[in-house]
Amino acid sequence: MSRDEHASESAAADADDQRLVLPDELRHELKGPMGPIETDADVLLEDVSGPLIAVGDVVTYHILQAGRHPDVALVDERTKRQTVDEEIREVVTDATHLEAENPPAEISADVVDALLEGLEREEPTTILVDGEEDLVALPAILAAPEGASVVYGQPDEGMVHVTVTDDVREDVRTLLEQFEGDATWLWAALDA
């Protein structure tokens, strides 16, 4: 094996170590909303007073249509495992600033790093995720400052608005500790 092949294999092993995988037995716990559900973005935005993180193409689209740019938006050009309409895709990816890989039903170090970079930026940042962005709402809740809003889609119901508090963070940490994989890298990245 050449040195380059060994380095590549080592990097792949590191990437595998730096991801969390949603176990099948935990899927039911994530089906319920973690906050109130709203169908009108204007009404939802009335309750947003701090930074806003939007997770999902349709959620981001509705927030943008209501005149607010999320501080961080994570999109993957899909909704309910189908490609989003061209209008939604164009609107939500118009100002893509970062890209990250995140396989379905996982949370990768790559997407967490992009999320943290987006939160540090002064200007609104859109992250285009190659894979799936659904579970990134969980590390977003841990990374966001107290009082921030994380908004994600609840299929066929509306937008879930989570106001970040210590209690919500504790609930999310408990959930993430049940994921498959070693979360040490995540806690280190989030200083949690």
Q: Residues annotated in the binding site, as ranges?
A: 57-59, 76, 133, 156
User: Residue 106, Cα to own-chain centre: how many angstroms?
Assistant: 11
Q: Identify the residue whose tokens are 């943290």.
A: 116
Question: Per the annotation, where are the binding residues for GTP?
Answer: 57-59, 76, 133, 156
3 state SS of 114? helix
**105: which 2 tokens?**
């039903």
**63: which 2 tokens?**
């927030």
**96: which 2 tokens?**
């893509």
Cα 135 to Cα 115: distance, rounded to the nearest angstrom: 12
Q: What residues contact residue 38 under an 8 Å CB cut-off, 6+ apart?
A: 44, 158, 159, 161
Amino acid at 13: A
Strands 125-131 and 96-102: parallel
Q: Is 157 exposed, middle or buried (0-12, 13-18, 19+ CB in 10 A)?
A: exposed
Q: Identify the residue whose tokens are 């919500």.
A: 168
